[in-house]
Structure 1
Amino acid sequence: MSSQELPPGWEAQWHAEHQRYLFIEVETGQTQWEPPTQAYGDPESQGQHPPEGDLLSPGTPSHPAHAPKKRQYAAGQSQAYYGTPEPSYGDFGGGAAGGGYYGGGAPGPGPAGGAGGGFFTPGLAGEQQGFQQQQQQAPYYGQQPPAQPSPSGAGGAGWYGANPSYPSNPLAGPPGQETYGAAAPGAGYGQPGVGALADQFSQMGMGGQKPFALYTTNLLQTPPDPLDLMKPPPEIRLPPGASATNSPYANADPSYTRCTLNAIPTTSSLLSKCKVPLALVITPHRSVPSTATNADGEPLAGVDPADEPVPIITDQVIPRCRRCRAYINPYVIFIDGGSRWKCIMCNVSNEVPAEYDWDRTTNTQIDRWSRPELNRSVVEFVAPTEYMVRPPQPPVYVFLLDVSPAAVQSGMLATATRTILENLSRIPNTDGRTKVAVIGFDAALYFFSLTAPANPAAPSAAQDEGEDGENAEPQPPQEEPEPEINMMVVSDLDDVYLPRPNDLLVNLSESRKPLESLLERINDMFASAIGGIPPGMQGAPQGPSAMGPALQAGYKMISPIGGKLIVLSASLPTLGAGTLKDRDDPKLFGTTKESNLLQPAVPFYKTFAIDCSRSQVSVDMFLFSSGYQDIATLSGLPRYTAGQTYFYPAFNAARSEDAIKFAHEFGEVLASPIGLEAVIRVRASRGLRMTSFNGNFFVRSTDLLSLASVPVDQTYTMEVVIEENLSVPFVVFQTGVLHTSCFGERRIRVVTIALPTTSSISEMYASVDQVALATVLCQRAVERSISHKLEDARDAVTNKLIDIMTAYRSSMTAGGAGAASQLAIADNMKMLPVLMLGLLKNTGIRASSTIPSDLRAYAQALLTSLPPQMVIPYIHPNFYSLVDMAPEAGTVGEHGIIMPMPLPLTSERLVRHGLFLIEDGQSMFLWIGRDAVPQLVQDVFGVERYDLLQSGKITLPLLDNDFNQRINAIIAKTREMRRGPYWPHLYLVKEDGEPALRQWALSMLIQDRSDQTPSYQQYLALLRDKVNGSGY
């Protein structure tokens, strides 16, 4: 049957269940099975559309005379799939901004479109253009397209059987025949030709994409290769034409988001059968290296696309699905000649905003296909006022400084204030609105008035000029007054109040001089109060600490506007609210009661954190102590307020290494461009639901994460449940982060990833991302160790590995006489056992009777917040031999410093004459054998003999020889090659040196037996027995 025309205001959508078209009146939402009969000339059908010849003048967008009404829905219809409305920012609007699409369906022809495939008024001419676009769209799903398509529309006569095609909806068709994201002719990335399509279809599976190839590995015969962890995850193989533009950047880079499975099972039973948890790992605010951009912030040529700055969309046109509230993305489908777009998640059609193809700045039409949100998976929209409940807050930093004797004598206070002083210009303050305050605490609270001194009165006109207009004699320059700092002491810790509240929180730009003066003097002020003991004195006792009241004071100061509390403490809180006691009992280490030490000791800090989260206040903790600090309790503040914990045990500023590490990390935190008052929601295609969220945030509702700040390079994980069978060729996950930038703009960062679906368990195994899976299992283990016992967490790790390998053996390998002597796993998962062994040997959950609870709690805080790029080396360190490394190692190559080849993590590779580097991103160990030749010692360390070397923290000297300079370059590269603020210490470890330091370094060689944990070969034997045993 030939194409049939629909009256304006009507559209046709294919109904899969009844296999026929359903006709919808756009204005009223009325639906019917019979085609509408009113003709174009019927004034009732036309409504208020302009007459055919009433066209807008050139140079302006073709709006209708009256914007068409939005489609009306029955109660609850708009929430058909996702239940309750979205709180916070979902109800702010942001759908079809500006109302209506170009022309509103006017019957007359619209103006000609611009270059580059831009869309224009979808009248009769627009319908014809839609047919031309459809004829050039090659990829169909499920069957080959007809050899000679009819000019009548999508497919021509006979393609849809008895169902005609309708030109008002030329791109819509029966399921399995849609052209996903059909692009206009001449679009930026184009569509494949007929020959290319023939090749593609010959390699496709049932879903339209190329199938995954599965390779099985016998772990007992395949030693782990560290280079496998540097490979990219399994390829995401989407059907041809899945994205609107075929852009190579339409899918998110793994550094932003990755999934444990890159092929999603179509049923929950299939997911349960493979035993691999389906989960997302997202790092929405990952850092971008400054070397990736020029002085104007533009990406440099040759830079990894993942390191390019996120595109900022400033026109405030933010198309969103009116049902599921998803943002427009590279995988939407344009229909009705481009005037509407179909949501890829819930299949609802939405109007394209009239301003979408128009540049209001230049008053010209733009190429739709060049818009970043249709080409890039990671974009950031500048949000209009509908997304704001108040004006964007300024960045606010309140420094809570421990001024007790312990803080002064360790040098912490002097180092902290000097670091703040040196980084004042790096604190985000582009718009000049940043506010700061300083509060000191020991046995009392110390507030500082930092108001800038008033400028001396300007000379009057009579003084400046004579009566007859002649200039008077020049006045001598006046000296700038010395900034005045008033310190106020509050000793009442039970009822904290703010003295002179209007003078405590000040503008950074306006009060720069008083702030600098305070930072220069504050250490001397409190050092003189305790007798002027020089910084760095060893054995300083912990002084009184009113950290809890100081937190309350800081909260009172900034709770009306929100901001960040940065706590720097060298003592255990002992006074006022939040008082803690030393509960570190070595007798409990390694016992079933050790988990009690990893749980909060008092409820104050979690309750306070929830109050902070409601008021958009985030807390960062920098903790220094020579004794017990109760990290397990204090780290709860950053955990629920989206902050971070940093720990410096036995800090002593007299050691330059300690001072450099803290100053670097603290300076990076101060300079980082954080997001403020944020919420995160992850949406997914119909049939999928998010659950089990992990990371530093507060769960406000079932799927809305509240973050008072969004630090760079912090990771969050969430598991995915399949609630309905999936019948689509691919699914989409979209992370939306509504936040206030530190530059004073309300923004929405959108991260989209599309993954194919499969009904084949072999494709599922072949698509497992072992790095993402290991990251999820790390967070699971930490959560279980706190809620249950450390032993339960370790057992859960091994049992999950056994479940996965048992399911793989039963599904993918053939039984036989030799099956019991093998341990089979997919080739892309072969590093998973050694990663899990590394997790079992990590300080966070390792079975040991010698690990202090503070170190264990801090390790757990890292395991639950580090991005995959850092958590993998944290559980699987890197091991290099430096004596026999390749000649080019340590020299500058095409991509920077060339690193040596990594070695397997076993002490079998250590030799007595060698020099080795072991690092996990937090610490580095330079291991030197006892038989190292004097020339090696001289060239690297600048001393004559091995016995003159001192074990411990060192700064490697820079000497005038090639070998030393290459090693220095490798160490520098190791510190800089990963994202994050961390600056790992370098320790010199002598083979016969300090036993504790030696044992620490050897514990990183995870393939060896240590403490109560098995070697890698023993672990594989355990897995083989369990997998091949009768109980599994």
Structure 2
Amino acid sequence: MLAGSRPSFNSGPPSQSMQQQPQALHPIYPNQFQSPTLPPNFSANQQQSPILPPNFSSSQHYQASMSSNHQIQSHTQHHTNNQQLSSSQFPSQSLNYTGPQQSLQGQFSTQQPNLTGMPQSSVGPFSLEPTTHSLTSTGNQQLYQSQASIMPTEMNQTSMQQGTITFNKFCAPPTFSNAQFPQPLPFPNQSSPDMSGVPQYQQTQYPGSQRPNNNAPSSSFAPISQSPPAISYPQQPLPPHYSNQPNFSTAPTKSGSQLNGPNAYSGHPPPSGSNTYPAQSLSSGSSIYSGQQPPSGLNTYPGQPPSSGPTQQTYQSQRIDPDMVPNVVQVLEQSQEKIQEPFITNAPGSIPPLAATDFVCQDQGSCNPRYIRSTTYTIPYATDMIKQSQIPIALAISPLANLRSDEFEPPVTNFGEIGPIRCHRCKAYMCSFMQFIDGGKRFICCFCEAATDVPPEYFNHLDHSGRRMDWYQRPELCLGSYEVLATKQYCKDEKWPEPPAFIFMIDVSYNSVRSGLVEYICHILKNELLNYLPKDKDAETSNVRVGFVTFDKQIHFYNIKNTLGQPQMMIVSDLEDIFVPLLDGFLGSPLESRAVINSLLDQIPQSFANTQETETILAPVIQSGIQAFREANCSGKIYVFSTTLPIAVAPGKLSNRDDKKLLGTDKEKTLLAPANNIFTKLGEECAQQGCAVDLFVFPNNYIDLATISEVCRVSGGQTYKFNYFSIENDGERLLDDLKRNFQRATAFDALMRVRTSTGIRPIDFLGNFYMTNTTEMIFGTIDSDKSVCVELKHDDKLPVESNTYVQAALLYTSISGQRRLRILTLALTVTSSYTSLYPACDLDTIMNYITKVAVRSISVSTPKSIRDSIITQSANMLACYRKNCAQSTTAGQLILPETLKLLPVYVTSLIKCDGLTGTQTVTTDDRTLQMHRLMSMNIKGTFAYLYPRVFALHNLEEDKIPPPMIRCSYDRFSETGAYVIENGLVMYIWLGSQLSPTFVQSLFGIQTSSHIQAEKCRIVDLDNPISRNVRALLNLMRNERNSYMKSFVIQQRDSIEPFFKNYLIEDKGFTGGASYVDFLYHLHREIRNILQ
């Protein structure tokens, strides 16, 4: 029913009917490709921290679980000789390596095999068979070997003291014997002859400012009773590709004074073309173990603390040196250094640079890898290879991905009435891999090999090479990505669409008004956001229309017709049968109705300033927005600003069902699943209407995002969460998120289909969208930050040494109301060889796919089963490589292919991340939010989530922003430094306990760090180099992410520091989960079990 208007709004004359916007017509793409190759000038037309407690405030303290006397706690678990560590025991329990010690006396060299066609890294800390090696090394610099291995390498035995290293067939580290020692160095837990039990660190007190590394591996070793042997090594020249200057992109080089100990490096220069990852051994005479502290000032590299650093280990121990295992920072730096020229897509199967690197792409056949990336660019010819390798065959597609400023957007062409040129059999669109025959009268489809007649309007002659004469004048013939203006046959009911509209729905209940949210939203809409409405690249003004709704237990619609002197309100209180009372005037142009809109935004806060209504509705509000779009025959977005759980009596009413005790257990899926299907059905209605819901929630308590955010997930929208909203702490973030949301490239009323060559087909689709059949993904909206994964399956064996093709076609309405098709094509090669399959893998895409599969499995599986599945799949990938590509290597080595050498560190992070295996420190709503983000996250976002970026702030230089990355480990932090870490969702600034007061004053404008509050502290805009450089870096980091990252300031030894440490993924997790080094042990054990 309708009720009278509550505020005093004036009436006005009726509005004029909306005018239909004609479709812009363009001629066939102009002749601007005259170069024999593509010319360089080618052109055409937060949330609150998920790990902080939900009720966190600066005045509250949460005690970290650590020893008050700063001791390293060690635990021993005894296992018999035959016990095996199951995946269910990992990673929460320490690893145990048991078995009788065996040794063979003698000295010999281990010859590393020379594999052809496959560079690889090996970081194997184990030897299965008894083997004795000569411990030798040369030079005062670290040399590298072709197959990097944590095993003894081929040794130079000229004029050197020699020691023997004895390996046993189990997982325990080797013993070391030398003439200087009357007895071998003690073996871990050598009290029992069968070597059972877990090695232990010696508990050591930490005097003064030194404190233990709480993230140290749970398994450790007994103290060394004597100093390591002093072995001297003659100096040899460096390899030609290394300079005498320090190179921090590789493992640190020891100084001459350290070469007289067991931490010296060994090995020969690598052969040409081989992988140059450091050769490593699990010997106590190799640098992988750091039994003693290096002298002060030695072995320094970016981010490592001096000898007085916060986690400097003073105890004598044997452990894997983290510097000697593959690390993300080094790989990124090396990959970036290799990028000297643009990546050109003219060859099928071309492997693009890493997604996190900065590169320029020239489209010359296949599309830009920012649009489509494949898990491997060489497809196995048969299903058997996929089953054995466990490498997923999938695509990560971001059809509207942002490009660099010096790259070109897909050009828009118009075929007129004939419409897009397509294969008559499989309906694939014209691409650069189609072949023309019969003098240009027909073309052969590269997907199904059918011949299709060329329409007379599209005919052109062929040159002597069989190409059309206008090959370089038409983007569909020479590019991998282009757009086509669609005909009416591609429109709903064969009618041209109207430009999209935005509807703003504002909660005006008591909580929303009291927090200042209503007034702030109206303020930024009036003064900021309406000036940021999106528009086409060449358009002068935006065609987007806007509408306004407020709600509590009722829904208030507003007439903003430009002929009115004041806006009009109409109230709908019948929530069972929702309708829009305004047929004309609800949606209006911000340019034509700006005065009325400004008046409305001024009056809304005043009208509800004294409200006492605490209950709200939500489902009927969204339903009314869908109805408004339906009546206006347009697509668009619904922006909902809500503060409380919708408990008012109405469709979609919810109750508090939160139970944190279930998180992390087998029953957590009941909390993470929707309470009902009402919001899921609303999302389906949105998708079919061509609109999406972006939900901004501002809760003080549980709001059941698992249920209400379903409407965002299904429609292609996004959820934003602001805990305990205040303008001071969250106003800037809200404004920035809305600006980004408005300005990013967005497609409305979109439908995407993936076509493939004969022999493979898409079978599974992962992301936030709606499907009514098995082939088409429907999006209310999809934007530049969203990505989907499509898994491919073999229907038959593919011809070896041939090419296979995939094409993604996105049909959508642009922001100006044009109906367009975006065509993206990628060419891949086919192989029957594992030595060709593994070098063509793209780990970034593999992890994006595995992450999405794992998140989707949460609703049907248990956390333990999901973790076990990820570990098993990873172990199978590496075991297959070991079996088929590295048979000649010793059994004790962990062999990693070059393209997958970072797989262990990413899996380490994934299996203990909050989004996948949350704990009670993460609220149910925050867990749901991360799950939805991960399902739509693009590859670059997944990389940042799995391996957060860390930068030092205390030594920033203006001409070196961003500075070099630092590894994600607490060992890299110095007490005298300041660091920033971000994962795309949240940002922390960590301040060392000995940080200079001058730095604090220059950055925060306060005298002492004791006045800093984690959430409220702000970096002040001060005119000094420190403030300018830090603000420049933080702004750069935020601009690279798709949402504004809220920053928290953490001080060393602060009570909430352990929560911050959860982001240091190379360390042991604060709430559980193994360290990177520990996981390598476990992964190697899994691989050996598979091979045996």
* TM-score of the two chains, using structure 2 as the length reference: 0.66
CA contact (8 A) 2:690 2:779 kept: yes
Residues 225 and 713 of structure 1: CA distance in aligned 2, closer, same or farther (over 3 Å): closer
Residue 940 of structure 1 aligns with which residue?
1003
The one of the two structures with greater contact order (alpha-carbon pairs below 8 A, sep at least 6) is: 2
For the residues of structure 2 that align with 1:610 and 1:964, how far apart are their CA atoms?
48
Structure 1: runs of 5 or more not aligned = 1-96, 99-113, 119-185, 191-210, 293-302, 360-364, 455-482, 531-541, 892-896
Is 2:505 the partner of 1:390?
no
Residue 71 of structure 1 aligns with which residue?
none
Distance apart, 1:786 and its partner CA: 1.7
CA contact (8 A) 2:990 2:1052 kept: yes
Distance apart, 1:1029 and its partner CA: 2.1
For the residues of structure 1 that align with 2:929 and 2:33, how far apart are their CA atoms?
55
- C-alpha deviations, 1:887-924, integer Å up to 9, x for none? xx442xxxxx6311112211111221111111112211
Residues 240 and 715 of structure 1: CA distance in aligned 2, closer, same or farther (over 3 Å): closer
CA contact (8 A) 1:236 1:756 kept: no
Residue 681 of structure 2 aligns with which residue?
607
Is 2:891 the partner of 1:823?
no
- C-alpha deviations, 1:325-369, integer Å up to 9, x for none? 11111111122223322111111222333333689xxxxx98332
CA contact (8 A) 2:121 2:901 kept: no
Among 509, 527, 531, the residue aligned to 1:404: 509
Residue 538 of structure 1 aligns with which residue?
none
Residue 880 of structure 2 aligns with which residue?
807
Q: What letter matches 1:310 in structure 2? A: P
Give the SS at the match of 1:659: helix
CA contact (8 A) 1:415 1:663 kept: no
For the residues of structure 1 that align with 2:32 and 2:712, how far apart are their CA atoms?
49
Give the SS at the match of 1:427: coil
- C-alpha deviations, 1:1006-1028, integer Å up to 9, x for none? 01112221111111111111111
Is 2:397 the partner of 1:282?
yes
Give the SS at the match of 2:792: strand
CA contact (8 A) 2:345 2:363 kept: no
Distance apart, 1:952 and its partner CA: 2.4
Distance apart, 1:323 and its partner CA: 0.9
Is 2:1030 the partner of 1:967?
yes
Question: Hey, which of these two has a bigger chunk of helix by percent?
Answer: 1
CA contact (8 A) 1:247 1:376 kept: no
Aligned length: 756
Residue 312 of structure 1 aligns with which residue?
412
For the residues of structure 2 that align with 1:414 and 1:931, how far apart are their CA atoms?
43
- C-alpha deviations, 1:692-726, integer Å up to 9, x for none? 10111111211111112222221000100011111
- C-alpha deviations, 1:612-647, integer Å up to 9, x for none? 222223221111111111111122111111111112
For the residues of structure 1 that align with 2:667 and 2:677, how far apart are their CA atoms?
20
Give the SS at the match of 2:592: coil
Structure 2: runs of 5 or more not aligned = 1-26, 40-115, 126-149, 151-324, 351-360, 462-467
Larger deviation: 869-878 or 792-801? Answer: 792-801
Identity of aligned residues (%): 27
Distance apart, 1:212 and its partner CA: 6.2
CA contact (8 A) 1:882 1:916 kept: yes
Residues 753 and 212 of structure 1: CA distance in aligned 2, closer, same or farther (over 3 Å): farther
For the residues of structure 1 that align with 2:974 and 2:836, how far apart are their CA atoms?
43
- C-alpha deviations, 1:39-58, integer Å up to 9, x for none? xxxxxxxxxxxxxxxxxxxx
For the residues of structure 1 that align with 2:512 and 2:347, how far apart are their CA atoms?
60
For the residues of structure 1 that align with 2:328 and 2:544, how far apart are their CA atoms?
49
Among 573, 577, 587, the residue aligned to 2:651: 577
Is 2:1053 the partner of 1:992?
yes
Among 688, 692, 698, the residue aligned to 2:764: 692
CA contact (8 A) 1:784 1:792 kept: no
Residue 637 of structure 1 aligns with which residue?
711
- C-alpha deviations, 1:972-1016, integer Å up to 9, x for none? 1111134x2x111121111133x23x2232111001112221111
Distance apart, 1:649 and its partner CA: 1.9
Distance apart, 1:805 and its partner CA: 1.7
Give the SS at the match of 1:503: coil
Residue 951 of structure 2 aligns with which residue?
880
Residue 120 of structure 2 aligns with which residue?
215
Residue 369 of structure 1 aligns with which residue?
472
Residue 132 of structure 1 aligns with which residue?
none
Give the SS at the match of 2:608: helix
Give the SS at the match of 2:928: helix
Matches within 5 A, 1:262-301: 262-288=377-403, 292=405
Distance apart, 1:229 and its partner CA: 4.5
CA contact (8 A) 2:348 2:366 kept: no
Is 2:1073 the partner of 1:1013?
yes
Give the SS at the match of 1:1029: helix
Residue 661 of structure 2 aligns with which residue?
587
Q: What letter matches 2:600 in structure 1? A: L
Is 2:750 the partner of 1:678?
yes
Among 959, 983, 997, the residue aligned to 2:1044: 983
Is 2:984 the partner of 1:921?
yes
Residue 670 of structure 2 aligns with which residue?
596
For the residues of structure 2 that align with 1:623 and 1:791, how far apart are their CA atoms?
31
Residue 74 of structure 1 aligns with which residue?
none
Is 2:605 the partner of 1:523?
yes
For the residues of structure 2 that align with 1:739 and 1:115, how far apart are their CA atoms?
27
Distance apart, 1:372 and its partner CA: 1.5
For the residues of structure 2 that align with 1:328 and 1:670, how far apart are their CA atoms?
32
Residue 32 of structure 1 aligns with which residue?
none
Is 2:895 the partner of 1:832?
no
Is 2:550 the partner of 1:435?
no
For the residues of structure 2 that align with 1:1021 and 1:841, how far apart are their CA atoms?
17
Matches within 5 A, 1:873-912: 873-884=944-955, 889-891=957-959, 898-912=961-975
Is 2:463 the partner of 1:354?
no
- C-alpha deviations, 1:423-469, integer Å up to 9, x for none? 21322365875332211111211111222226xxxxxxxxxxxxxxx
CA contact (8 A) 1:880 1:918 kept: yes
Residues 881 and 426 of structure 1: CA distance in aligned 2, closer, same or farther (over 3 Å): closer
Q: What letter matches 1:623 in structure 2? A: V
For the residues of structure 2 that align with 1:241 and 1:260, how far apart are their CA atoms?
11
Matches within 5 A, 1:395-474: 395-421=500-526, 422-428=528-534, 433-453=543-563
Report the RMSD for the aligned CA atoms in angstroms. 2.9
Q: What letter matches 1:828 in structure 2? A: T
For the residues of structure 2 that align with 1:934 and 1:509, how far apart are their CA atoms?
51
Distance apart, 1:669 and its partner CA: 1.3
Among 920, 925, 928, the residue aligned to 1:849: 920
Is 2:426 the partner of 1:324?
yes
Distance apart, 1:513 and its partner CA: 2.1
Q: What letter matches 2:1053 in structure 1? A: D
Give the SS at the match of 2:1081: helix
Distance apart, 1:757 and its partner CA: 1.1
Residues 956 and 746 of structure 1: CA distance in aligned 2, closer, same or farther (over 3 Å): same
Matches within 5 A, 1:179-218: 187-188=36-37, 213-218=118-123
For the residues of structure 1 that align with 2:124 and 2:552, how far apart are their CA atoms?
57
Matches within 5 A, 1:735-884: 735-814=808-887, 818-819=890-891, 821-884=892-955
Give the SS at the match of 1:706: strand
Give the SS at the match of 1:559: helix
Q: What letter matches 2:606 in structure 1? A: D
Give the SS at the match of 1:771: helix
Q: What letter matches 2:476 in structure 1? A: E
Residue 949 of structure 1 aligns with which residue?
1012
Give the SS at the match of 2:423: coil
CA contact (8 A) 1:915 1:926 kept: yes
For the residues of structure 2 that align with 1:337 and 1:692, how far apart are their CA atoms?
40
For the residues of structure 1 that align with 2:687 and 2:1090, how far apart are their CA atoms?
50
CA contact (8 A) 1:219 1:830 kept: no
Q: What letter matches 2:488 in structure 1? A: T
For the residues of structure 2 that align with 1:973 and 1:520, how far apart are their CA atoms?
35
Q: What letter matches 1:792 in structure 2? A: S
Residue 438 of structure 2 aligns with which residue?
336
CA contact (8 A) 2:502 2:636 kept: yes
- C-alpha deviations, 1:10-69, integer Å up to 9, x for none? xxxxxxxxxxxxxxxxxxxxxxxxxxxxxxxxxxxxxxxxxxxxxxxxxxxxxxxxxxxx
Distance apart, 1:189 and its partner CA: 6.0
Residue 380 of structure 1 aligns with which residue?
483
Among 250, 259, 262, the residue aligned to 2:365: 250
Give the SS at the match of 2:370: coil
Q: What letter matches 2:601 in structure 1? A: L
Q: What letter matches 1:1017 in structure 2? A: V
Give the SS at the match of 1:782: helix
Residue 536 of structure 1 aligns with which residue?
none
